[in-house]
Structure 1
Amino acid sequence: MLRCISVFSLLVVFCCSCLASADDGTLYRHFVVNATSRNAVCNDGSPPAYYVRLAEGSSDWLIYLEGGGGCYDEQSCLERYQSSQFLMTSSLSAETFSFSGPVSSNCTANPAMCRFNVAYIHYCSSDWWAGTYPSSKSGNKFHFFGRNIVQAVVEDLLDETVNSTISGSMKTATRVILAGDSAGGCGTFQHADSLASFLRASLDVGQDLVYGAIPDCGWFLGGDGFKEYACTNNEVCNVEHRFRSGESMWGLSPPVDCAAAHPSDLWKCLTGNVIYTFIKEPVFPFLFLTDAWQAVQDGIDIHHPYSQSETAWEESRESENRGYIQGDNMKSVYAVNCVQHVMLYVNSYTDIVVDGVTPSMAIKEWLDGGMQEVKHVDSCTGVNCNKSCPYSFPQ
């Protein structure tokens, strides 16, 4: 079980439903081979785990990056290791795994991708899938190889000598979707273009590959929060402080174009409004206009009724996000106006409705339409105006 304990208390409400039902299809665990020599290990040095389910006769693939936050300095990483060790190692990973949302093999709940081959990559690098530093450079005992781990998993799926069960299984792929939630959504932004380039150079189909990216709630904003406070733990800390502080420890390696535009502030490439502008491949972000995790980091108490000033702050976040996604600024987006975090699993995937369309239906619409423009943005205004969100805060 990978997701039923969350590093963020705000996720506890719905993470206990995270394992999919029996008909959602079992995925089987594999480990990255020669992970140490490839600089592709978990925080604790263990080889990363990933889960695969092959779909007979299908050349479609979903690569899914697990979420789970991160840490930004030695103390926060030690705290994370004590409270959420499973997010820093593969040693606690189960042999089999089932998941809902786009990973599900249930075609009623997941009509768009139920017959895809799936590679679900366990998150164990705490660096938003963008780090490149070993412990010898990070300044503490932990490695941060998120960027390398994604590359290593895909290489293993292409290599016919790695594993008799899955060796070379991705080589004949003709359509690949990269997706992920929360930190995995952030990682999806980070890898969207580089993975596409690598696959087109490696797959049998070459440049004819059909490819797209679906980041779920990996859209985080920098800047000041509602409250200014010292970051004293890993549960609550200003987003910009997290990214600024972690940048040098992780060996942050964002997409080249973004890094060139922000050489002195690489951390900005982890923020959704910045990184989106550099992505060339088709991308379909899913986001909450008032994301619950962002609200907590901003200093909002999401577990109690909002004060007038908290409400005003959240409405300003809503307005800010609308500005980023309106008009031609974003070709495709699914944006919901409620205080929640993560959309593409459990009930949210099939229950949330915008323009009469659920997230599950929106993905099918996007894929069936050749990954052209699909926009569903809540027109209602005010905190939690969309009443279809099953896990919105305050509760």
Structure 2
Amino acid sequence: MMTAIRLICSLMLLVLMHYGVLGARRFRGGRNPQPRRAPPSPTYRERGDTTESFPLDFTAVEENMDNFMKQVKNLAQSLYPCSAQKLDYDMKLHFLENSSVTCNDGTPAGYYMKESLGSRRWLIFLEGGWYCFNKENCDSRYETMRRLMSSSKWPQTKTGQNLCLPAWFIPYCSSDVWSGASAKTDQSGYAFMGSLIIQEVVKDLLTKGLDKAKVLLLAGSSAGGTGVLLNVDPVADLLERRGHTTVQVRGLADSGWFLDNKQYRSTDCHDTVSCAPTDAIRRGIKYWGGVVPERCRLAHLGEEWNCFFGYRVFPSIKSPVFVVQWLFDEAQLTVDNIHLTGQPVQEGQWRYIQNLGIELRNTLKDVPAMFAPACLSHEIITRNYWIDVQVKGTSLPRALYCWDRSFYDNSRNNKAPPKGCPVHLIDSCPWPHCNPTCPTIRDQFTGQEMNVIQFLMHMGFDVQKMAQQQGMDPSKLLGMLSSGS
């Protein structure tokens, strides 16, 4: 078995070094590709742009709200199987009753609401969208992606799906990873109130039926996923202080488990692309007036920035949290200065990518409920293909169902989840896309979908010749590649 693993590793290393990594910009993953934004102009790249210069799609929610709501419906059905009801298909915009809690530019913050009268299970989703950490890159963000800093052009309604539980979508307009608690000042030029926005939304919802709920699931992707880690306990504490102790608060953090690792190649910290993760968050938490969960704050006095990194904040979290994380997260690679632009990947870069998977796997080993496929991508639960990806034969919807069932079983019989219902799922294969259920590789120019074998052939790699050189039967090598074994 070890011989086979070494063979495949050497095979993939050879391919990646000569032809570029799987999932690079020319070969973008996705069974149903999202529309891509045009790249920013060179002017903005030279000025140190933030989210706009990323080749990644960090704002897929706004670009395709219909698809996002479809995935929320699938998520709801996975967690809480229920019969369909006739509901209003539009999510309506509600501004916060507390008008002093605002977006970056002082416009009112708010949420989109879909009611379901009498439901005992509620879902609140935090949008992602990166961040800015000083006046210069926040000004650039405001010029080019204003909806992530202002509610001035938010539509009054968003088309949704027929959900059988109440769902609230909180647009991200605070640029602070949902952590800020500071009003607008002359020095900053902006308000940063992400944590306060969540608190005020929960307060508003208590008057709309949340007080009678049994479960509140706080979910989010990317910056929203980190926002879940930072806010799930404060939300639980808020409900407890207000006497609503019967509401069980849980978290679902998707693609928000970042590492404070050393960059592949260090660069000066000018913007969110070039800045090392620790440097960016150190600057950001001061600029935002950011707050972190109390138990984590006490564990990292004077260095509260640590609480923005999943493996550091997680041990202090009391509320149940399900972590969903690609082992080779594109956003992590980007801030680590591994830019996958279709150019050949050097041997040092490839080793760095493999080590990232090892490091991430190590930080997740003690997380009781998690789903971590060895794929190169960013965000899972907002994507069309999220129900298809499997880890060790178990899909994410199945794992989420098992997670929810574990609370029911434990409260009734104090038993662990039954066999065949795992909740701790992490890939053990060592390279990006070694899991055969990863998002399909797609030629960005032709739209053609390719499996791993087709990709190798497309790049001119002679699988038969390689097998002969290794003394293997070609069909055996092809079988190993296609199965990911």
- Give yes or no for contact 2:216–2:248 (8 Å, CA) kept in 1: yes
More relative contact order in 1 or in 2 (CA 8 Å, sep 6+)? 2
Letter in 2 for 1:311: W
After TM superposition, give the deviation of residue 380 of structure 1 in Å.
1.6
Counterpart Cα distance in 1 of 2:443 and 2:260? 23
After TM superposition, give the deviation of residue 386 of structure 1 in Å.
2.1
After TM superposition, give the deviation of residue 391 of structure 1 in Å.
7.0
Counterpart Cα distance in 2 of 1:10 and 1:285? 25
Task: Give deviations 1:120-146, integer Å, cap 9, x for gaps.
Answer: 111100111011112228x32111011
| Unaligned 5+ runs, structure 1 | 106-113, 160-167
Counterpart Cα distance in 2 of 1:12 and 1:194? 29
Counterpart Cα distance in 1 of 2:309 and 2:441? 23
Aligned residue number for residue 188 of structure 1 = 228
Aligned residue number for residue 177 of structure 1 = 217
Aligned residue number for residue 110 of structure 1 = none
Aligned residue number for residue 162 of structure 1 = none
Aligned residue number for residue 93 of structure 1 = 154
Counterpart Cα distance in 2 of 1:230 and 1:292? 20
Counterpart Cα distance in 1 of 2:238 and 2:181? 18
Counterpart Cα distance in 1 of 2:240 and 2:443? 45
Q: TM-score, normalised by structure 2?
A: 0.70
After TM superposition, give the deviation of residue 57 of structure 1 in Å.
3.3
Counterpart Cα distance in 2 of 1:54 and 1:177? 15
Task: Give deviations 1:145-197, integer Å, cap 9, x for gaps.
Answer: 111110011111123xxxxxxxx332211111111111111110011111112
Task: Give deviations 1:187-226, integer Å, cap 9, x for gaps.
Answer: 10011111112223436xx333233111111111113211
State how 1:36-75 maps to structure 2 within 5 Å. 36=100, 40-75=101-136
Aligned residue number for residue 140 of structure 1 = 188
SS in 1 for 2:348: helix
State how 1:124-135 maps to structure 2 within 5 Å. 124-135=173-184
Letter in 1 for 2:65: L
Letter in 2 for 1:10: P
Aligned residue number for residue 364 of structure 2 = 325
Counterpart Cα distance in 2 of 1:358 and 1:41? 39
Aligned residue number for residue 200 of structure 2 = 152
- Give yes or no for contact 1:219–1:271 (8 Å, CA) kept in 2: yes
Are 2:57 and 1:12 aligned? yes
Counterpart Cα distance in 1 of 2:184 and 2:111? 22
After TM superposition, give the deviation of residue 8 of structure 1 in Å.
6.1
After TM superposition, give the deviation of residue 355 of structure 1 in Å.
2.1
Are 2:332 and 1:294 aligned? yes
Are 2:413 and 1:368 aligned? no
Aligned residue number for residue 472 of structure 2 = none
Aligned residue number for residue 28 of structure 1 = 92
Q: How many residues align?
A: 365
| 1:12/1:394 CA distance change after superposition, 3 Å | farther
- Give yes or no for contact 1:219–1:272 (8 Å, CA) kept in 2: yes
Task: Give deviations 1:320-377, integer Å, cap 9, x for gaps.
Answer: 1111122xx2111111111111011131321222122222232222112218771111
Query: Which one is further off, 90-99 or 180-189?
Result: 90-99
Are 2:373 and 1:309 aligned? no
| 1:98/1:273 CA distance change after superposition, 3 Å | farther
Counterpart Cα distance in 2 of 1:333 and 1:309? 30
Query: Which one is further off, 193-202 or 246-255?
Result: 193-202
Query: Which one is further off, 150-159 or 369-378?
Result: 369-378
What percent identity do the matched residue pairs reach? 29
- Give yes or no for contact 1:288–1:338 (8 Å, CA) kept in 2: yes
RMSD of aligned residue pairs (Cα, Å): 2.5
State how 1:333-352 maps to structure 2 within 5 Å. 333-352=370-389
Query: Which one is further off, 178-187 or 49-58?
Result: 49-58
SS in 1 for 2:55: helix
SS in 2 for 1:151: helix
Counterpart Cα distance in 1 of 2:385 and 2:154? 25
Query: Which one is further off, 272-281 or 298-307?
Result: 298-307
Task: Give deviations 1:60-91, integer Å, cap 9, x for gaps.
Answer: 10011111100011111111111211100111
- Give yes or no for contact 1:289–1:321 (8 Å, CA) kept in 2: yes
Letter in 1 for 2:195: R
After TM superposition, give the deviation of residue 119 of structure 1 in Å.
1.2
Larger Rg: 2
Letter in 2 for 1:91: S
Counterpart Cα distance in 1 of 2:443 and 2:373? 16
Counterpart Cα distance in 2 of 1:349 and 1:130? 27
- Give yes or no for contact 1:49–1:93 (8 Å, CA) kept in 2: no
Counterpart Cα distance in 2 of 1:198 and 1:302? 42
Counterpart Cα distance in 1 of 2:118 and 2:247? 17
Aligned residue number for residue 250 of structure 1 = 288
After TM superposition, give the deviation of residue 394 of structure 1 in Å.
10
| Unaligned 5+ runs, structure 2 | 1-34, 38-50, 74-88, 409-416, 445-485
Counterpart Cα distance in 1 of 2:427 and 2:147? 36
Q: TM-score, normalised by structure 1?
A: 0.85
SS in 1 for 2:94: strand
| 1:130/1:30 CA distance change after superposition, 3 Å | same
